[in-house]
Amino acid sequence: MIELKNIKKTFKSNKKLITAVDGVSISVKEGEIHGVIGYSGAGKSTLIRCVNLLEAPTEGEVLINGENLLELSSEELRKVRGGIGMIFQHFNLLQTVTVYDNIAIPLKLSGVAKKDLKVRVEKYLEIVGLSDRAANYPSQLSGGQKQRVAIARALSLEPKILLSDEATSALDPETTDSILDLLLKINRELGITILLITHEMNVIQKICDEVYVMENGQVVEQGPTLELFAKPEHPTTRKFLNTISQRQLSDTLIETLNVSGAVTRLTFVGQSTGKPALAEISKRFAVTPNILAANIIELKNGIVGNITVHLEGDAIALKKALNYLRDVGIRIEQLGGQIR
Amino acid sequence: MSTFIDDWGELLWKGIIETFQMTSISLIIAILIGVPLGIAVVLTRPGQLLANRVVYQILNIMINIVRSIPFIILLFFIIPFTKYIVGTTIGVQGIIVPLVLYTAPYIARLMESAFLEVDQGVIEAYKAMGMKKRQIIWHVLLREARPSMILGLTLAVISLIGATAMAGLVGGGGLGDIAYRYGFQQYKTELMYVVVAMLIILVQIIQTIGNRWAARLKRN
């Protein structure tokens, strides 16, 4: 549905050439939610603006339903844009008109008949849960409510695709959750395909099917969210994961503990939990598992669990125990080097 | 008091009418020129909807040139032009041309800053929704700029009233003319005080109306 092929975008600033996006390809199928995560300056904002050509890529192709947007006339492009909704970090509502008019004006301008206007506005205000706020002005609303109005405005044009440019970044955690629930709802109930960018890992965790980690204009790691949470490879991905679950122990602690055994991180995906496996190894082998940290991350499509455990025992027993764990399908990562 | 009104009432009333005439006629014409000019300057700015460096620079320089000439000099400097346009250089008619020429570029600048205050994000949102440039100009730029436009026009009116005071020099009449000719040249000091007081009240009223109107449009 959305296909970005080898997108490159360079800017000239103070006579220096800056590459904001450097050869990024993204493919979002109908009905999916994909997320691009990265620190500020990673180029993700430029990337999402390339999807509806608010920013024209220097190189590459932008395909929406197989149609290359770069080949369209400006008139044709306007029509395609009408089918792609977009929401923003700072909501971007008209300040001088009511909530109702914020939704009704774009509808009127895009040719919705006057008699259908009221029904349409009310329908989408209902969906975002703001029916009682139609007569208010944006300045009278909270941040979360303003974003809901912006979502209603985008949805009312009945797009197939929604682009979300840091839509929750200006909101507090609780409001963020409610907006994410709303995005999930419109994805499920209206079948809208969503591409979002964010710097918050919990946004990815809660609603994304696929994730792209971006750094210095490039995608450094990508894949289904579940896989990426279970097997983060790139240091940046790991850093982002650390923001939602404490995965790190201090080097000195690991060093001290490794004298009498092995500090190991066990990761399991889906239904298996680590506990029976740990009980099993203590029974079968001469090792004593000692849990240092544990957490469970609920993702949109499953669960990823992490247990950081100190396995006490001699080298031979440890090796056997680790092999056993590997065999039952638990991913193992030894912290602080190999066992001596 | 009553003798003052008997002596000067009629003259002052005539002055008020003339001031209103000069102000309102030149204001309307100046708005008709200045607002579109302001829109043109903003839209042709680099990075804006109709970015065009050449047009932007030409407009910019033109506005700056006219704005650098003090009104009192402009008044005489453009006498041939005034004569060509309205056929006379005196009276209310004769003063309208320099007043418009003085005010329109000022309004253009005020409108420019009013439009620049409009959140670029909203303009972007409307672009992303596939709106036409014309629709964005009309429904976003002009709509959102209304409160600042009103405040800007209030400033323009007040400066215009100030300029009409110099109109006496070309026989334009008005309150300023009375204060100058009778108050200053003929030492009728009390008349000058009355005129100044009237001008103060007038400016206060206009500023208050402007502020309230802008606040109502702003909805904050």
In chain B, which residues have their Cβ closer than 8 Å to the Cβ of A84?
Answer: 128
Per-residue pLDDT of chain A in tens (340 residues, 90 and over written 9): 999 999 999 998 888 899 999 999 999 999 999 999 999 989 999 999 999 999 999 999 999 999 999 999 999 999 999 999 999 999 999 999 999 999 999 999 999 999 999 999 999 999 999 999 999 999 999 999 999 999 999 999 999 999 999 999 999 999 999 999 999 999 999 999 999 999 999 999 999 999 999 999 999 999 999 999 988 899 999 889 888 876 677 778 888 888 888 888 888 887 665 567 888 888 888 888 888 888 888 888 888 888 888 888 888 888 888 888 888 888 888 887 654 4
Residues of chain A whose beta carbon is less than 8 angstroms from a beta carbon of chain B are 52, 54, 77-86, 88, 90-97, 105-106, 109-110, 137, 139, 150, 153-154, 157, 163
CB A191 within 8 A of CB A183: no
> What is the residue whose two structure tokens read 């001008």?
B199
* A-interface mutation test, from B129, B136, B141, most A Cβ less than 10 A away: B129
CB atoms B125 and A86 under 8 Å: yes
Tokens of B204: 């206060």
CB atoms B127 and A96 under 8 Å: no
CA closest to A87 among chain B residues: B125
What class has domain A247-334?
alpha beta
How confident is the model over B82-127, as pLDDT tens digits?
Answer: 888 888 777 778 888 899 999 999 999 999 999 999 999 999 999 9
Q: Architecture of A2-242 per CATH? A: 3-Layer(aba) Sandwich (3.40)
Q: Between A85, A92, A105, which is nearest B124 by CB?
A: A92
* Residues in CB range of A111: below 8 A, 6 or more apart: none
From first CA to last CA, the distance across chain A in angstroms is 52
Which residues pair with residue A24 across a beta bridge? Answer: A7
Percentage of residues of chain A with pLDDT beyond 70: 96
Give residue A110's identity as a one-letter amino acid code: S
Q: What gap in Å lies between CA A181 and CA A167, rounded to an integer?
A: 13
In chain B, which residues have their Cβ closer than 8 Å to the Cβ of A52?
Answer: 128
Domain span(s) for CATH 3.30.70.260 in chain A: 247-334
Question: What single-letter DSSP state applies at residue A131?
Answer: G
Decide: helix, strand or coil at residue A30: coil
Q: What gap in Å lies between CA A137 and CA A79, rounded to an integer?
A: 29
CA closest to A140 among chain B residues: B220
Q: Between A54, A109, A153, which is nearest B127 by CB?
A: A54
Domain span(s) for CATH 3.40.50.300 in chain A: 2-242
Dihedral-angle region of residue A72 (phi above 0 means left; psi in -120 to 50 means alpha; beta otherwise): beta
Tokens of A172: 């507090």
Q: What is the ipTM of this complex?
A: 0.86
Instruction: Give one DSSP letter per residue of A47-93, joined into a string.
Output: HHHHHTTSS--SEEEEEETTEEGGGS-HHHHHHHHHTEEEEETT---
The count of C-alpha atoms lying within 13 angstroms of the C-alpha of A156, restricted to the half-sphere facing its C-beta, is 32
CB A33 within 8 A of CB A2: no
**What domain range is B148 assigned to?**
2-218
In chain B, which residues have their Cβ closer than 8 Å to the Cβ of A82?
Answer: 129-130
The count of C-alpha atoms lying within 13 angstroms of the C-alpha of B216, restricted to the half-sphere facing its C-beta, is 7
In chain A, which residues have their Cβ closer than 8 Å to the Cβ of B142?
Answer: none
CB atoms A90 and B121 under 8 Å: yes
Quote the number of domains for chain B: 1
Domain of residue B40, CATH code = 1.10.3720.10
